[in-house]
C-alpha cells in the first residue's frame, strides 16, 4: 500500500467553493466552468456533450479524459453537478469538523462532496506522479430530476466499462444493487357541475381518484419493492364539482417481475374504479382514465465477485478497512451506466440528511473517501481490476 497524503485543508476549501456556486438542476453552467478551472494539468482532453439541449440545461455533461501511466483498461469516476431546491444562495458553515448550510437551503454535499473528492484525488495523483490507468471522469447534469444527464450522455466519449459513482452516504459500503423504477401520471376525468345548485349533474374526479387510491397498497410492498403516490392535484373553485385530478407516483423494485406486477395493479385499480362508477350510475363516457407511464431508471445489479467490487474491497483492506456490498432503495447515474454496459459501484462520501436544509458532511469522511478512491486507483493500476 502506498501512503497517500490528502490535503484536508485544500479539500475543505474546494468543497466550500463548490457549494457556494448555485447549480440547481438545469443551471449547472457556472459549476461546470468552476470545475474546469480547478482541474490539474493531468487532464488530456475535455468534452462538453450535447445533453444540455434535450434536458433544458445551460450546459452539457462534462467528460474529462486522463491518460494512464500504467497499462490498464480505463476506469470511470462519476458525480453529478446539480443540486435540489432550495439550493440558491447556499452559505456554507464549518464548525467542529462539520459542514452545514445556514439553515435555509440545502448544503449541496449531494453531490459536490463527490466533485471535491475527485478533484483532490486528481491533484494528488498529478503532484505525486502516482501510478494510474486511464480515467474517464464524467460529471453529469440534471441527475436530481430523473437522471436526465446520464440518459442523454454521449457514451461515445466514454471508453471505460467499469467505474465508481460517488453518490451515497456510507463510506464503509459500496452499493451493488439498486432498483428499477417506473414513473407514472394518471389523469382521472369526471364532469364539472355547480356544487351547490346541481351536484347531481357532476362526476367528482376527486371522489373517483380517492376511491382508487384507497384500494392501493402503498409504501413498502416487500423487502424489494416500494410504491408511492407523491402528488394529487385538483384545481378549481370549492363550488364546482372537480372534473380533473392528476396523480403522479412511482414504483420501485429490485425484481423486474414485481415492478411490472405492482405497476399493472395500479393501472387496473384506477381503470376498474372508473368502470364500476359508470356501471352503477349508468354512465357511458365518464369517468375515464388517462395514463402516462415511463421507465424512470433500470436496475443496477453487480455480482459481488465482479472486479469492480473486489478491487474496491481490496483497496479498503489495504487501508485497514472493511467495505460492505449494499442494496439501495434509490437510483443514481450508476443505474443508467449499468444499462449501457458500464459496471458502476456507488461509493459514499459521508453526506447526511440530503435534500433537506439539515444536510451536513464531516470533513474527515470526505478525507476517508478520497483516500479510498486513491487506493482503488492504485490497485487498478497494479492489475487488480478488469
Judge residue 149's burial from the number of C-beta atoms within 10 Å of its C-beta, 0-12 exposed, 13-18 middle, 19 or more buried. buried
User: Looking at 28, 110, 136, 143, which residue is catalytic?
Assistant: 143
User: Looking at 28, 49, 82, 120, which residue is catalytic?
Assistant: 82
227 closest CA partner among 237, 235, 217, 215: 217
118 closest CA partner among 48, 35, 51: 35
The answer to whether 82 is a known catalytic residue is yes
The answer to whether 143 is a known catalytic residue is yes
- Which residues are part of the catalytic machinery? 82, 143
Amino acid at each position: 500500500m502506498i501512503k497517500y497524503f490528502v490535503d484536508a485543508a485544500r479539500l475543505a476549501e474546494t468543497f466550500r467553493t463548490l457549494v457556494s456556486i448555485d447549480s440547481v438542476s438545469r443551471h449547472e453552467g457556472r459549476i461546470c466552468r468552476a470545475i474546469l478551472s480547478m482541474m490539474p494539468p493531468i487532464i488530456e482532453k475535455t468534452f462538453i456533450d450535447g445533453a444540455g439541449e434535450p434536458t433544458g440545461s445551460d450546459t452539457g455533461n462534462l467528460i474529462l479524459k486522463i491518460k494512464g501511466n500504467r497499462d490498464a483498461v480505463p476506469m470511470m469516476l462519476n458525480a453529478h453537478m446539480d443540486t435540489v431546491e432550495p439550493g440558491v444562495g447556499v452559505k456554507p458553515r464549518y464548525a467542529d469538523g462539520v459542514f452545514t448550510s445556514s439553515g435555509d437551503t440545502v448544503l449541496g454535499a449531494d453531490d459536490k462532496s463527490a466533485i471535491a473528492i475527485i478533484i483532490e484525488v486528481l491533484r494528488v495523483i498529478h503532484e505525486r506522479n502516482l501510478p494510474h490507468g486511464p480515467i474517464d471522469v464524467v460529471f453529469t447534469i440534471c441527475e436530481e430530476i430523473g437522471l436526465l444527464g446520464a440518459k442523454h450522455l454521449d457514451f461515445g466519449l466514454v471508453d471505460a466499462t467499469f467505474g465508481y459513482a460517488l453518490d451515497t452516504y456510507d463510506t464503509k459500503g459500496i452499493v451493488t444493487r439498486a432498483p428499477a423504477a417506473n414513473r407514472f401520471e394518471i389523469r382521472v376525468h369526471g364532469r364539472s357541475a355547480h356544487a351547490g345548485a346541481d351536484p347531481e349533474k357532476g362526476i367528482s374526479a376527486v371522489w373517483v381518484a380517492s376511491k382508487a387510491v384507497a384500494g392501493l397498497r402503498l409504501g413498502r410492498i416487500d423487502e424489494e419493492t416500494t410504491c408511492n403516490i407523491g402528488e394529487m392535484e385538483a384545481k378549481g373553485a370549492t363550488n364546482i364539482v372537480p372534473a380533473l385530478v392528476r396523480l403522479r407516483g412511482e414504483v420501485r423494485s429490485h425484481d423486474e417481475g414485481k415492478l411490472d406486477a405492482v405497476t399493472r395493479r395500479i393501472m387496473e385499480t384506477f381503470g376498474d374504479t372508473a368502470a364500476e362508477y359508470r356501471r352503477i350510475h349508468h354512465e357511458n363516457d365518464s369517468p375515464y382514465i388517462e395514463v402516462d407511464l415511463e421507465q424512470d431508471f433500470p436496475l443496477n445489479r453487480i455480482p459481488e465477485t465482479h472486479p469492480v467490487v473486489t478491487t474496491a474491497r481490496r483497496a479498503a483492506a489495504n487501508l485497514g478497512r472493511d467495505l460492505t456490498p449494499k442494496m439501495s432503495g434509490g437510483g443514481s447515474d450508476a443505474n443508467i451506466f449499468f444499462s449501457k454496459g458500464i459496471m458502476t459501484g456507488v461509493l459514499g462520501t459521508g453526506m447526511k440528511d440530503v435534500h433537506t436544509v439539515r444536510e451536513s458532511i464531516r470533513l474527515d469522511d470526505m478525507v476517508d473517501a478520497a483516500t479510498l478512491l486513491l487506493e482503488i486507483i492504485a490497485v487498478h493500476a497494479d492489475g487488480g481490476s478488469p
